[in-house]
Amino acid sequence: MTDTNNVIAARRRSTEFRLVLMAGIITAGAYTLASLGQNSVIPPRILPFLAVLLLVLMSAHIGVRWLAHGADSTLLPVATLLNGIGYVMIARLSERLAGLQTTWTFVGVAAFIAVLFVIQRVNDLSRYKWTFFFIGAGLLLLPMVPGLGFSSGGARIWVSIGPINFQPGEFAKIALALFFAGYLADNRELIAAGTWKVGRFYLPEPRHLLPLLAAWGFSVVVMVGQKDLGSSLLFFTLFIVMVWVATEKTSFLVIGLGLFVAGATAAYFMFDHVQTRVAIWLDPWSRYQGKGYQIAQAMYALGSGGVSGTGLGLGDPTRIPEAKNDFIFAAIGEELGLFGATAILIAFLLMIGAGLRTAMRTTRPFEKLLAVGLTTILGIQAFIIIGGVIRVVPLTGITLPFVSYGGSSLVANYVLLALLIRVSDSSARRLGEIPDAATFGERFAARLAQRRVKRHPEELEAMS
């Protein structure tokens, strides 16, 4: 078992406990206020709600305490706060979806603990980089398989297997981050050095670049084949950021940005839906009766919220199409106002900060790059969708991590969170902040080996 006397770990975990508890109190308070605002009654199911809330929060916290007790203390509380506020908003929009979101939260926290349990040595994952490459590629292409994939809301990003519908893209991005981290950790120097002389320039060997270009190609395929601009943009950013950080070559950043501009321009002229997105971004008002309606309603909602918001349950966010999903930020901006919306921004910045701090602390390139990649996914995805809703960038439909309704998204983000926490815990071990005790798997293997040595001492002698 872990060393409970360890001071640093104990301090981190007790901080996390208090913060998680605070996130729970905020969630419960918001839930009550939303019900008071909507129906002027204390929510009838407040006790079961509190029980479920406490169960979810405490299992996640105990999971960390048990399996990653040296990890950063802010990641989990901020994630649960976002999850809680999102849940209150969803419950306020639709009773039915709230029930489902509860189930997804359970699954998400279970996946969170499972990942922490199964992956105890995060560096081990780098060995499976090609597996992750094929998993990621397979997941990405899955919606395009006839009979399995289907479109909803214009994007072909869904897969239906039996009774279960899910968005494989949500998991593909984690697999691709794992692949990028593994591949770049091994080859970053070769890629950075540039040993292939073309004219006056030294370029990386084509065979080193090929996997990266293949990954980039996937993001184009996703954009063209699935009309999923948001995910495409996210993959592309992930790719550029990770290559840039790994190689420390600004030229890759420049080339990446060039590719992006070229790709975006080509997409604009090739696809009607891209042109529409840009047009409603610049002027939703003249297309109010058509595609601009959703953005216009989001603007009205945000304006109606003003600085302090209408108050939970007192606004009118049901008028925004997809308020539970891509547009949940507008619903939050309406009912919680500029204050509430800014709190969401700060929450994401805190997660970004914790993620990048983890990346800086760890010394292993794979862990470093993985932490950067996972943080990029989280921070950039939130930026893309929030920016889309408030017209900073053209709208591309993706979920707001931890906040939006949706099983795939929530579970995938809890998996992502578990990996970040695992990296954080691992760096704490390597920095000597907590004793690097053997994991379950290692102790189990050691027991097996011991037993084997007892029974067959000759094997040990043969080995030496």
Partner 1 sequence: MNQRIRRFAVVLIVLYVILFAQLNFIQVGQKSTLDADARNTRQTVRDFNDPRGDIRTSDGIVMATSVRNTAGSEFDWQRTYPEGDLYSAITGYFTFGYGATQIEKVQNDVLAGRTVEQQIKGFRSLFNGQDTTGTVETTIDANIQQAAKDALGNREGSVVVIEPATGAVKAMWSWPTYDTNLVAVQDSKLAGDIFNYLDEVPGKPLLANAYQERYMPGSTFKVITTAAALDDGLITRESTWADESEFLPPQTTDPIQNYGNKVCGGDLPEVFRRSCNTPFARTAIELGPEKMVAATKKFGIGETIPFDLPHSASSQFGDVDYFTQNLPLLGIGGFGQGNTQMVPLHMAMVAASIAHGGVMMKPYVIGTTYDHDGGVLQRTVPTVWKTPMSPATSTLLTELMVGVVNEGTAKCCMHLANGIQAAAKTGTAQLNAAGEPERSHAWIIAFAPAEAPKYAIVVMLKGTTAEISEGTGGTLAGPVAKKVLDVALAQ
Is 464 buried (19+), middle (13-18) or exposed (0-12) by CB count in 10 A? exposed
**Candidate residues 5, 7, 146, 248; the one interacting with partner 1 per rule CB under 8 A:** 248
CA 129 to chain centre: 19
**Candidate residues 205, 316, 322, 433; the one interacting with partner 1 per rule CB under 8 A:** 316
**Could you say whether residue 296 binds partner 1 (CB under 8 A)?**
yes
Least separation in angstroms between residue 161's CB and partner 1 is: 36
**Could you say whether residue 342 binds partner 1 (CB under 8 A)?**
yes
* Nearest of 376, 384, 398, 361 to residue 181 by alpha carbon: 376
* Nearest of 116, 14, 104 to residue 325 by alpha carbon: 104
Q: Which residue has the tokens 């995910």?
A: 231
| Of residues 278 and 343, the one with the C-beta less far from partner 1 | 343
**Could you say whether residue 301 binds partner 1 (CB under 8 A)?**
yes
CA 33 to chain centre: 29
Considering only residues 207 to 236 of the shown chain, the ones binding partner 1 according to CB under 8 A are: none
* Nearest of 37, 19, 27, 29 to residue 85 by alpha carbon: 27
Q: How many residues bind partner 1 (CB under 8 A)?
A: 47
**Could you say whether residue 353 binds partner 1 (CB under 8 A)?**
yes
> Could you tell me how many residues make up the chain?
464
Specify the long-range contacts of residues 21-24, CB closer than 8 Å, at least 24 apart: 21/57, 22/77, 23/57, 23/77, 23/78, 23/80, 23/81, 23/84, 24/53, 24/54, 24/57, 24/80, 24/84
| Of residues 53 and 341, the one with the C-beta less far from partner 1 | 341
The one-letter amino acid at 415 = V
| Of residues 52 and 338, the one with the C-beta less far from partner 1 | 338
Q: Which sign, positive or negative, has the C-alpha torsion 399, 83, 137, 129?
A: positive
| Of residues 166 and 252, the one with the C-beta less far from partner 1 | 252
| Of residues 29 and 138, the one with the C-beta less far from partner 1 | 29
Distance CA 418, CA 399 (A): 19
Least separation in angstroms between residue 111's CB and partner 1 is: 26
Distance set, CA 222 to CA 98, 116, 234, 384, 396 (Å): 30, 30, 11, 17, 13
Considering only residues 18 to 57 of the shown chain, the ones binding partner 1 according to CB under 8 A are: 36, 40-41
Distance CA 108, CA 60 (A): 10
| Of residues 158 and 329, the one with the C-beta less far from partner 1 | 329
**Candidate residues 24, 337, 373, 406; the one interacting with partner 1 per rule CB under 8 A:** 337
Distance CA 94, CA 117 (A): 34
**Could you say whether residue 403 binds partner 1 (CB under 8 A)?**
no
Least separation in angstroms between residue 369's CB and partner 1 is: 8
- Write the DSSP symbol of residue 292: T
**Candidate residues 104, 171, 281, 348; the one interacting with partner 1 per rule CB under 8 A:** 348
Considering only residues 357 to 396 of the shown chain, the ones binding partner 1 according to CB under 8 A are: 359-360, 365, 368-369, 372, 376, 379-380, 383, 386-387, 390-392
**Could you say whether residue 341 binds partner 1 (CB under 8 A)?**
yes
**Could you say whether residue 345 binds partner 1 (CB under 8 A)?**
yes
> Which span sits near partner 1 by CB under 8 A: 68-76, 173-181, 194-202, 296-304?
296-304
Q: Which two tokens stand for residue 54?
A: 């406490």
Do 35 and 311 form a contact (C-beta atoms < 8 A)? no
**Candidate residues 125, 245, 267, 419; the one interacting with partner 1 per rule CB under 8 A:** 245
Site residues, partner 1 (CB under 8 A):
36, 40-41, 241, 244-246, 248, 288, 296, 299-307, 316, 319, 333, 337-338, 341-342, 345, 348-349, 352-353, 356, 359-360, 365, 368-369, 372, 376, 379-380, 383, 386-387, 390-392
